[in-house]
């Protein structure tokens, strides 16, 4: 059973006879948006593939950050990467010192 029928079940003949009238809400006929979209494309269907059109339409829906937000977040990433690099460098230097003084006398 499809979703439209679960939401708006079609009344049977006995249900209509009991109610005395036909149901007010009937499920909409199934639509084929891909078929409808491809019918009116014409020459563009050969020049631009469908997946490229879908990518462009999705990119138009994106909410892009402002220039200030981009600079701030870039600065945060650079600072965190530098701090993490310094931490890993310190750990590496500690292990080099520990190996030089314990295993290689």
Question: Is the separation of the CB atoms in 8 and 25 below 8 Å?
Answer: yes
Please tell me the predicted confidence (pLDDT) of residue 13: 62
State the pLDDT at residue 43: 65
CA distances, 20 to each of 2, 11, 94 (Å): 27, 12, 88
Q: Which two tokens stand for residue 1?
A: 């059973």
Per-residue pLDDT at 57: 93
Give the residue ranges of the chain where pLDDT is below 50: none
Question: Do 48 and 41 contact (CB within 8 A), yes or no?
Answer: no
pLDDT at 35: 54
pLDDT on residue 73: 97
Render pLDDT for 71-99 as a digit per residue (tens, 0 to 9): 999 999 999 999 999 999 999 999 999 99
Q: What is the pLDDT of residue 45?
A: 65
Going by C-alpha positions, the residue among 76, 51, 57 that lies closest to residue 65 is: 76
CA distance 100 to 105: 7
Looking at residue 24, its pLDDT comes to 60
The domain limits of the chain are 68-105
Radius of gyration of the chain (CA): 32
CA 29, CA 10: separation in Å to the nearest integer? 12
Quick one: pLDDT at residue 49? 86
């Amino acid at each position: 059973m499809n979703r439209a029928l679960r939401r708006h079940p079609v009344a049977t003949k006995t249900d209509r006879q009991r109610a005395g009238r036909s149901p007010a809400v009937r499920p909409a006929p199934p639509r084929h948006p891909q078929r409808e979209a491809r019918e009116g494309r014409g020459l563009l269907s050969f020049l631009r593939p469908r997946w490229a059109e879908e990518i462009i339409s999705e990119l138009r829906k994106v909410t892009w950050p402002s220039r200030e937000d981009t600079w701030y977040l870039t600065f945060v990433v650079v600072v965190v990467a530098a701090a993490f690099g310094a931490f890993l460098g310190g750990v590496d230097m500690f292990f080099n010192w520990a190996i030089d003084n314990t295993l290689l006398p």
